[in-house]
Amino acid sequence: MGARTRAVVAALAALALAGGPLPAQGSPGADEGPAPRTIEEAVADDLGITMTEFVEAGAAAELAAPRLGLDGDRTAGTVGPPPLAVLTDDGVEILGSGAGEGAHGAFADLEELRGRYLADVGPDGLTGLAYTLDGYEVLVTDPDEARERGRTDPSSPVRSPRQWAAEHPRVTVVGTTGPRAGATLRGGAPISFGSSACTHGFNGYYNRAQVGLAAGHCAHGGGSAVWAGSTRVGTVTWFQFGAPGSALESYGTDLTTYSQGSAFTYPPSVTAGSSSVTITGRAPAVLGLPVCKMGRQTGWTCSTVNRIGWQWIGDGSGDISRPKRWVWSLFADLRVIPGDSGGPWVAGNKAVGVTSSYDWYADGRPYSTAALLTSLDDYRPGAQVKVWLGSPSVGGVEKVDATTALARWARGRVVSGTLSRPSGDSISPGTVMDVVVDGTRVASPSVAADGTFSFSYPGSDATAHTVTIQARQGDSRGSVLRVLDEPAGSAPKVVRHAGANRYATAATVARTFYAPGVDTVYVASGQDFADALSGGARAGSDGVPVVLTPATGLHTATRDALTHLAPRRIVVLGGTVAVSGAVERELRTYAPVVERVEGLDRYHVSAAVSRTYPAGQSTVFVVSGQAFPDALGASAQAGSLGVPLVLTRSTSLPAVVATELARLRPAEIVVVGGTVAVNGDVEAALRAYAPKVTRIAGRDRYIVSALLAQRYAVPAQEAWVARGTDFPDALAAAPVAAREGAPVVLTRPTGLPAVVGTALEQVRAPVVRIAGGTVSVDQVVERDLRWLTYPL
């Protein structure tokens, strides 16, 4: 703001008689002029300041509104000028008045100035009275012409306006002589009121209904139907042009509201071409305030408010007996021509007024006036400018996306947050943050100018709640933040164990959980699941790891793991098709003993692994050797119980497996998977080998893994989560999980199934481990795991 000189705020008025400024409306076919400048260009060219300084000036003026009595809370029925104030580098300062004189000395206020001028000189030729930076100003058609007509004190000598002004200290006399509508209607768009071409000012509300805001004389002189091109916008619902009642003795405004139908959307912004201004509030008029206006004819132009007061708008006839229109206005040296009427005036992101009239000084320089939006509080209570309200953010949450977050808030917690705002801008006074818990609004804390707010959270600790947080200013609303508040309780620590691929993940798990000098390491194919499924249960029973390998050569990560583990023995699972002889020979460099467990097929291999268990088992798990999904969680459970897991065809029990079951003589056989994985004929055949046959089945693999997890003691020491659409990560995790008595549950790569989340809450593991990288189990699943709640 250092580029601004001392500026004085608004309070009073300009009057204009015959020959005074004219309404800036035009015919619908008026030339719309050259392509408009951007507002950035206009601010730089016309004001010589930056957009940041422009935004800051508007914000400072708005923040002063409560002190000026222009915050919407003026006493009911109050009509009249607010206090005079000045915009300085330190903000807005209200100017006091001394005994018998006003802030500018010569007169108490513009009312006294007006009375004295009309008494001594008369109304003929008078077009306005205003405060300026240095005193008072009288605007007239001819400063040097002295006339007899209209003086209220005929005993005073006849003199010209300039002569009269010379007799009064600090009084001077001055001689006076766009974009297209589309599916979105923003301020600055061309509109018409019947026969009158005007410019759309701002989008707004009246008692919650969407309305447009523009100049009252557009409706007065044109008609009630409002159009944007050939599309009907709506109908005039209210207008005022000049004073209510006597036009000569009281003053009013030049504003209108009109309904807005469904043909357009109506954002809180002003635009021209590629240049747009977001409206975040409403600022009062402030002398010295930089402003920019948008008109359909003249585009963006900018200047500084240099007068504020009554504007007595004439019809150009020169007949002082004709009705004139009093309008409470701000003045700026801006060019306006017919068609620009109603167009928006802004200070930074703040709406200030709409174009009302225009005229020229005697030297040919143009000036124009705007009807102030603060007048709505007096003349159209309930009408307001639509403002943009940003996105709220609060502490103590984890964002799920732009509109959703997770929290675990205790009852009575003070939640603090911020509302986003444009750089350098302020939050509009009167903005509150509505806090709604499970559909009931529980708090509406005020939002400070810097966007901060806080509230005490009233939700209970025992249950989950849905909390929505949304900014509200009048009828304007911001975006909604939805917070899912979890009930009070403990949450697991989530740890990910991953490598660059399946071989590296298995190697990482082995290196992390097993110390050098381990007795045995099982090596299985990473390209098929069957051998690792059988061997994983055995490894879990023995408390040793499984690592994976390609068929024809060891992976670098597997070599590093074997070097770290320095095992006494390596057991290769499967024949040479699964793990080649070349791999077996290389393995001999990592352990003094290398053995292979093989057979004619996967069923022979599983039977061979099973034969390492003694007869008389309490339980044997039987799973499909043709599809892995249902079986992945079973390997860890068999290992944790120290019992065998064998494979079967889906439709028939292999003879080698039947022979092994006869040897084992289990008390119970547990079939894992539905009848597609292991059909009823196989289940019937199994009844010949155990007095009890139990099936664990569900609609999908995730339900099966959840049912297996429910068989563990509560609380489990830990739990593992692995991708259910592929096998390697789950099989690498199975031996570690078995050693710790931990379940392995399955997840979709991009979303934790609800049934699996429920199962984990039931087992209450203080640590949940993820097997695999973010391609296998993405960050959304990891977040969901971190926000599991184990109720107190």
**Confidence band, pLDDT 50/70/90 cuts, at residue 242:** confident
Report, as an integer, the average pLDDT of 556-580: 95
pLDDT of residue 76: 45
CB 282 within 8 A of CB 431: no
Delineate the domains of the chain, giving CATH numbers in brackets: 7-94+178-384 (2.40.10.120), 392-487 (2.60.40.10), 493-791 (no CATH)
pLDDT of residue 267: 94
pLDDT at 95 over 90: no
Q: Tokens representing 736?
A: 């570690």
Give the C-alpha separation, 215 to 235, whole Å.
Answer: 14
pLDDT in tens, 57-78: 989 888 888 877 766 554 444 5
Task: Give the sign of the dihedral formed by CA 277, CA 280, CA 285, CA 289.
Answer: negative
486: CB partners within 8 A, 6+ apart = 406, 407, 408, 464, 787, 789
Angle subtended at Cα 666 by Cα 661 and Cα 668, rounded to the nearest 5 degrees = 115
pLDDT at 178 over 60: no
**Confidence band, pLDDT 50/70/90 cuts, at residue 27:** low
pLDDT of residue 6: 24
Centre a 10 Å sphere on the Cβ of residue 76 and count the other Cβ atoms it contains: 6
pLDDT in tens, 263-287: 899 999 998 666 789 999 999 989 9
In angstroms, how far apart are the furthest CA atoms of the chain?
A: 134
Q: What are phi and psi of 763, to 5 degrees?
A: -80, -20
**E-assigned strands of 625-754?**
645-648, 668-672, 692-696, 719-723, 744-747
pLDDT of residue 96: 60
**Confidence band, pLDDT 50/70/90 cuts, at residue 1:** very low
pLDDT of residue 249: 55
**Confidence band, pLDDT 50/70/90 cuts, at residue 82:** low
Nearest to 667 by CA among 632, 731, 721, 620: 620
511: CB partners within 8 A, 6+ apart = 560, 561, 564, 565
Report, as an integer, the average pLDDT of 193-211: 94
Task: Give the sign of the dihedral formed by CA 641, CA 522, CA 629, CA 626.
Answer: negative
CB 51 within 8 A of CB 40: yes
Higher local confidence (pLDDT), 260 or 317: 260
Report, as an integer, the average pLDDT of 677-684: 96
pLDDT of residue 139: 86
**E-assigned strands of 7-53?**
7-8, 22-23
| Token pair 């084992």: residue | 664
| CA–CA distances in Å: residue 11 to residues 84, 161, 309, 375, 493 | 5, 23, 6, 11, 63
Report, as an integer, the average pLDDT of 226-249: 81
Can you give 363-416 as a three-state secondary structure string? CCCEEEEEEEHHHHHHHCCCEEECCCCCCEEECCEEECCCCEEEECCCCCCEEE
pLDDT at 94 over 50: yes
Share of the chain above pLDDT 90, in %: 62
pLDDT at 169 over 50: yes
pLDDT in tens, 631-661: 888 999 999 999 999 999 999 999 999 999 9
pLDDT at 99 over 90: no
pLDDT in tens, 349-404: 999 999 999 888 888 899 999 999 999 998 999 999 999 999 999 998 998 888 99
pLDDT of residue 66: 82
pLDDT at 17 over 50: no
pLDDT at 44 over 80: yes
Give the C-alpha separation, 507 to 228, whole Å.
Answer: 69
Peptide bond into 715 cis (omega under 30): yes
pLDDT in tens, 756-782: 999 999 999 999 999 999 999 999 999
* 67-71, 315-319, 506-510: least confidently modelled range: 315-319
Q: What element of type H or E holds 205?
A: strand 202-206
Give the C-alpha separation, 698 to 628, whole Å.
Answer: 15
pLDDT of residue 149: 61
| CA–CA distances in Å: residue 762 to residues 135, 359, 627, 705, 707 | 79, 79, 28, 13, 11
CB 211 within 8 A of CB 384: no
First to last CA, the chain: 56
| CA–CA distances in Å: residue 377 to residues 212, 235, 243, 281, 383 | 16, 21, 15, 14, 8
At position 308, the amino acid (one-letter code) is I
pLDDT of residue 179: 44
**Confidence band, pLDDT 50/70/90 cuts, at residue 18:** very low
Higher local confidence (pLDDT), 312 or 747: 747
**Confidence band, pLDDT 50/70/90 cuts, at residue 531:** confident
CB 446 within 8 A of CB 432: yes
Task: Say what the pTM is.
Answer: 0.70
* Summary mean pLDDT of the chain: 87
Report, as an integer, the average pLDDT of 51-58: 91
Angle separating helix axes 632-641 and 701-709, nearest 10 degrees? 20
pLDDT of residue 81: 64
